Amino acid sequence: MGTPITTIYFYSFVMLWMASFMPYKYTQIPLLALGGLLIVIGAAMGPETKDVDISEPAQATDRPQVSGEAAGSTAERRRMVAD
């Protein structure tokens, strides 16, 4: 069993521990914030976004151009589905 799955099982114990210094009903808020932060860090470190400048929007020229033949066949398939 992977470590991320195993740590999920212990959230109730962490909430009980946190209840010693904050109200129990609010203990889920820091855990949710921590989880969101870990997701953002993991996404930023992932191979799809590691070398990408996210602050710059993608230019239209960055996308591959669709040939006229492929566009025509797509339009034909849409007509067949719509009928």
Both tokens assigned to 50:
């590691």
Q: What is the pTM of this model?
A: 0.49
58 Cβ contact partners less than 8 Å away, ≥ 6 residues apart:
none
% of the chain with per-residue pLDDT over 70: 49
Q: State the pLDDT at residue 21.
A: 93
Q: State the pLDDT at residue 1.
A: 47
Question: pLDDT tens digit string along 47-75?
Answer: 776 666 667 666 656 556 655 555 566 66
